[in-house]
Structure 1
Amino acid sequence: MLHSISPSQPAGLSRALDNFLTRHRIGVWRVVVTFVLASLVFGHSRWDGTWVSPLLLTLGMLGVSLATVGRLWCALYISGRKNNTLVTSGPYSLCRHPLYVCNLLGIIGLGAMTESLAVTAVLALAFALMYPAVIRTEDRFLASAFPEFAEYARRTPAFFPRLSLYRGESTWTVHVSSFQRNIADSVWFLGLSVVVESFDLFHDAGVLRAVVTLA
């Protein structure tokens, strides 16, 4: 499980696999995105006209919104400090990789907005395949770069947030230029949600014709 990840694990072949998945995760995501785009162009949700459709859309919008706010929160703390300071407060007091928690919320949210449980499952499985390796690789880097990381890792879960650990700051110096650059990275889920909904409008207008039904 993600919360049991240790900087010292795995070793040997498993570490090589982690490095491989980390290096090639963009390529894997390109394949997944191609599948999703094909589903949006040629697919039609079997849930249209049922109560499931608005439920999935609402949950999807909630996931995307939480992901966007969460990524902005993380950017506020980490901008200008990544790889040179071990940030352990704010969202990073809840878990070691809150940005990836937000990514999962956004990915599942986008999947739900397609109104297809199958597309949502594919996106979630791709995340589950790739991100544990990324987290382990980053933990190993942090452990080698910051002596205090071992204590931080001991008390803070890797992925699943623990609200009781929250620790904020009364004041916080923000690297404005870095934060401004990170804003675009933080809100791209919102842009993708517009793209997803645009395909639905194209189908309704008859511009696109579905040839498969998506579960």
Structure 2
Amino acid sequence: MFDSALTHETAVADTTATKPADQLRRIALLRLTMLICLPLIIFTEPGAPIGEFLRDGLESVGILLVIAGVLGRVWSILYIGGHKNAVVMQDGPYSVCRHPLYLASTTAVLGFGLMLGSIILTVALTGAVFLILSDIAAKEER
């Protein structure tokens, strides 16, 4: 039991020396993606003629996903507090998945796409955010 506590403290000490992933790069990529998609978001209509009932349903699901994403981000941010890059968090939202902030962000973007009513924009936005955040998560894991 003492050895596992010592190993845990050593692992925590080792992670403090690790350089965090390039957050400026991640933010720049996400902003660039949003700028590229902005004209599509503003000037396009859904390509497939869907009924008003289905469109309202997609919009409602989208709103719920955006709310879930925002709440997930708030929970994750409040839970990790000032421990980011100092401790490998394994409790709370971090017991559910390794990167709950990124999961919540991707969920919110998926909801935003559904609110727009376009499956193509939903897939494009969610896919772009997922790829960018997956790349950053992989770098953070190293």
Q: Taking structure 2 as the reference length, what is the TM-score of the superposition?
A: 0.73
CA contact (8 A) 2:46 2:119 kept: no
Unaligned stretches of 5+ residues in structure 1: 1-18, 141-215
Aligned length: 121
Cα deviation code 1:48-87 (max 9, x no counterpart): 6532211110111011011111111111211111112222
RMSD value, Cα: 2.3
Cα distance, 1:31 vs. partner?
3.6
Cα distance, 1:124 vs. partner?
1.8
Structure 1 pair 25–83 and aligned structure 2 pair: CA distance change class (3 A)? closer
Cα deviation code 1:137-195 (max 9, x no counterpart): 1111xxxxxxxxxxxxxxxxxxxxxxxxxxxxxxxxxxxxxxxxxxxxxxxxxxxxxxx
Unaligned stretches of 5+ residues in structure 2: 1-20
Q: Which has the higher helix share?
A: 2
Structure 1 pair 114–36 and aligned structure 2 pair: CA distance change class (3 A)? farther
Q: Taking structure 1 as the reference length, what is the TM-score of the superposition?
A: 0.50
- 2:83 alignment partner in structure 1: 81
Aligned-partner SS, 1:134: helix
Cα distance, 1:129 vs. partner?
2.2
Aligned residue type for 1:113: M
Cα distance, 1:130 vs. partner?
1.6
- 2:132 alignment partner in structure 1: 130
- 2:34 alignment partner in structure 1: 33
Aligned residue type for 2:29: V
- The structure, 1 or 2, with the larger RCO (C-alpha pairs under 8 Å, 6+ apart) is 1
Which is worse superposed, 54-63 or 44-53?
44-53
1: distance between equivalents of 2:42 and 2:74? Answer: 31
Aligned-partner SS, 2:82: coil
- Sequence identity percentage: 32
CA contact (8 A) 2:66 2:107 kept: yes
Aligned-partner SS, 1:111: helix
| Structure 1: 4+ residue segments shifted above 3 A | 22-28, 46-49
Aligned-partner SS, 1:95: coil
Cα distance, 1:24 vs. partner?
4.1
